[in-house]
Amino acid sequence: MKKHFVEFLSPGTFVSETTVKPIKKWDVDEAVKMARGIKERHGATPYGFRFFTRERGAGDLDSKVVKTGGIYFLGGKILTLAQVKARKKAGDGILISNMECNKIERVIENTNSWRVTLPFRDEDTLLEFTP
């Protein structure tokens, strides 16, 4: 038995708020439509989502995650370390330090809900999105 899911990610206080919903297949357009109906605590709405697939064999007691994908960000702006430094924005010191110490090449800033800044990895995708 195999089932597909989409996990919606919204800004939270210390970690992202998440909502998981079943989906027939890994369908980006369908997930974007579903994202518009998600609302978390304090009115936070998704900054992105990711797909995963769970599977259970005949002899398995419970299912396990067998496939995951990168994050599809619902809008935002991708910035390199050089771009973050060049903009000379007050309060970027910690971001710059974190990027340098953790060797993060790119971050994404998303403001379609509460502002969130996260690493942007090669497996991630930036979608055009209007909240």
Digit-coded pLDDT (tens) for 29-55 = 999 999 999 999 889 999 999 999 999
Same domain, 32 and 69: yes
Same domain, 59 and 87: no
Q: Is residue 82 part of a domain?
A: yes
Q: Over 90: is that where the pLDDT of 60 sits?
A: no
Same domain, 61 and 12: yes
> What pLDDT is stored for residue 131 in this prediction?
83
- In the numeric block, the tokens 């989409």 are attached to 6
DSSP state of 110: E
Burial 35-59 (b: 16+ CB within 10 A, else e): beebebeeebbbbbbbbbbbeeeee
Residue-range definition of the domain harbouring residue 94: 76-121
Beta strands 72-74; 125-127: pairing state: parallel
Domain count of the fold of the chain: 2
Mean pLDDT, all residues of the chain: 95
Same domain, 34 and 95: no
Q: What is the pLDDT of residues 4-30, one digit of tens each?
A: 999 999 999 889 999 999 999 999 999
Q: Over 90: is that where the pLDDT of 59 sits?
A: no
Q: Is residue 33 part of a domain?
A: yes
Same domain, 28 and 90: no
CB 99 within 8 A of CB 84: yes
How confident is residue 61, by pLDDT bands cut at 50, 70 and 90?
confident
